Homo-oligomer: A and B are copies of this chain.
């Protein structure tokens, strides 16, 4: 087993992932501004899109955030008309969230913003490197349990 260790902190994957991730997030926040969304709102839309309707507590667990945060994210998305909240008739404690057509439109707008950002981000890379980066990040994302 190979153990290549970086000899300086800026050379580590961790350092680079942390800082580049924060930069990308800042840019994404700016790009989402006109849509009145934050990254966590988009994350919730993605979850409802890929996993289908879900109760708030399920969402909290999947996203790894507090249930109280799901309440305010859902409040906002409901106000935008992006999701519907329906009480589960079988268990009236559950609020089942589902994507509306407007929500799907918002998600598409978020995707467009991310694709524009991707183009900027990948600008210094060769075509080959872009493909490689996408493939390798895909492996790490799958390992981390992110939706595809």
Interface set of A (CB-CB < 8 Å, partner B): 2-25, 27-28, 39, 42-43, 46, 50, 107, 110-111, 114-115, 117-119, 121-122, 124-125, 127, 129-130, 132-134, 136-141, 143-144, 146-148
Contact = CB atoms under 8 A, between A and B. Distances in A.
Given A20-B144, A21-B22, A118 B12 contact: yes
A104 B38 CA distance: 38
10 contacts: A9-B110, A10-B147, A14-B28, A14-B117, A16-B140, A18-B28, A20-B144, A21-B24, A23-B144, A125-B140
Q: Helix, strand, loop or mixed for chain A's interface?
A: helix
A136 B133 contact: yes
